[in-house]
Amino acid sequence: MIVGEQKPFEEIWNMIRQYRRVLVLGCNTCVAVCHSGGEKEAHILSEVIQIKASSTDTSIEVNHMGLVRQCENEYIDDAIHNLQTYEAILSLACGVGVNFLSQKIGSIPVLPGLNTTFYGSVEEAGVFAEMCVGCGDCILHLTGGICPIARCPKSIMNGPCGGTNNGKCEIGVDTDCAWYLIIQRMKALGILHLLEEIQPPRDWSKSFHGGPRRMFVSHVMLNKREDANK
C-alpha cells in the first residue's frame, strides 16, 4: 500500500492562498488507509483552510470530496465536470494521483497536499512501515523475505555493514538492521547457505534508474482489439 503524510499546513496554505475557489480532493484507497488523504481528512483540511482564511481575511471558497482512486480514468471521468469548476485542486492522493489528475484535468493546477512516502505495511493500528521500493528485480527469495534494498539505508546486497549494532542500524536505535534480520531469518529457515552463492550484479535498469516504467498487459488492452480481429 502507498503511504503518505499530509504536508505541513503552512506549506499547503502557501500553495492555495492565491486561489479563490479550491477543492480539497480525497483519495479513498491507499492514503485513506493511512488516515492521511481519505475523504474524511479532506473534509477536516477544508475546515482548517476555512479557519485560516477567515483569520487572515482571505476570501477562499473551499469544498471537499473524495474519489475512490485518483489514478484511474473512470473514477475521475465521473467527477470531471465538477472538478473543472474549481480554480485549483488540492489533491490528497499520493503523487501518482496528483500526476494522473494533472494530466487529465486541463488547465487547472492540481496541488499536492501529501508527501508520498513509501510502500508500506500496517504494522498495527496507526503504525505504517516501509518494506519495498519497487526496484523491479525482486530478490526476496534470496534474503529470507526481508528486503535489503528497502530496509537497509545503504541498500547493500552483502551486509551487514560495520554500522550494525546489536541488531540495530547506525542511523538510529528505532531502525532495525535489515541484514541482521535477514541472517536471523535465514538461519531460522535453514537457508543461510544461500548467502554463500555468488550473485550476478543487479540490473538496476529495471528500477527507476532505467527511466519511468510502463507495463503493458495486452490481453486486457482495449486498443489491441483491432489487431486481434485481423
In the shown chain, the binding pattern of residues 13 to 52 toward other proteins, with x for contact by CB under 8 A and - for none, equals: -------------x-xx--xx-x--xxxx-xx--xx-xxx
Does 9 interact with other proteins (rule: CB under 8 A)?
yes
Of 74, 121, 114, 118, residue with least CA distance to 94: 114
Does 122 interact with other proteins (rule: CB under 8 A)?
yes
The distance of closest approach from Cβ of residue 161 to other proteins in the complex, given in angstroms and rounded to an integer, is 36
Does 202 interact with other proteins (rule: CB under 8 A)?
no
Does 58 interact with other proteins (rule: CB under 8 A)?
no
* CB of 125 or CB of 220, closer to other proteins: 125
Does 98 interact with other proteins (rule: CB under 8 A)?
no
The distance of closest approach from Cβ of residue 67 to other proteins in the complex, given in angstroms and rounded to an integer, is 10
Residues that bind other proteins (CB under 8 A): 8-10, 26, 28-29, 32-33, 35, 38-41, 43-44, 47-48, 50-52, 54-55, 66, 68, 122, 125
